[in-house]
Amino acid sequence: MHSDQPSAADDPTEVGDEVDAAALARVMRVVPLGAGVLAGGAVALLVLGYLLIYWFVFIPRGTVG
């Protein structure tokens, strides 16, 4: 960045809010659970799709080797 351009810190609206430690701790208790549910749900859907194709398309197509 050029030195003649203003820094984001010069703009009062760009300066970060003060962090309420208690609120942050409360949120951080829930966020990993949400991330786990989201990632788990995505993987579960993927595995379900794989199993459906494996059992209902691939296996009925018969023996090969």
Partner 1 sequence: MTELHPEMHERRILGTELLWAFGVGVLIAATLGMILFTALTMSINPPSNVERIDPKTLHLSGEFAEHNLGTTVGADGSVTARIIATQFMFVPRCIAVPRGRRVTLRLATPDVLHGILVTGTNVNTMVVPGYVAQVHTEFARGGELLMPCHEYCGLGHSEMWATVQVMADNEFRPGADGRVSCAQR
Chain positions contacting partner 1, by CB under 8 A: 21-22, 25-26, 28, 32, 36, 39-40, 43, 47, 50, 54, 58-59, 61-65
Residue among 8 and 24 whose Cβ is closer to partner 1: 24
**Sign of the C-alpha dihedral, residues 16, 19, 24, 25?**
positive
Taking the complex as a whole, how short is the minimal distance between the CB of residue 43 and partner 1, in angstroms?
7
Buried b / exposed e along 24-55 (16+ C-beta atoms within 10 A) = eeeeeeeeeeeeeeeeeeeeeeeeeeeeeeee
Taking the complex as a whole, how short is the minimal distance between the CB of residue 14 and partner 1, in angstroms?
27
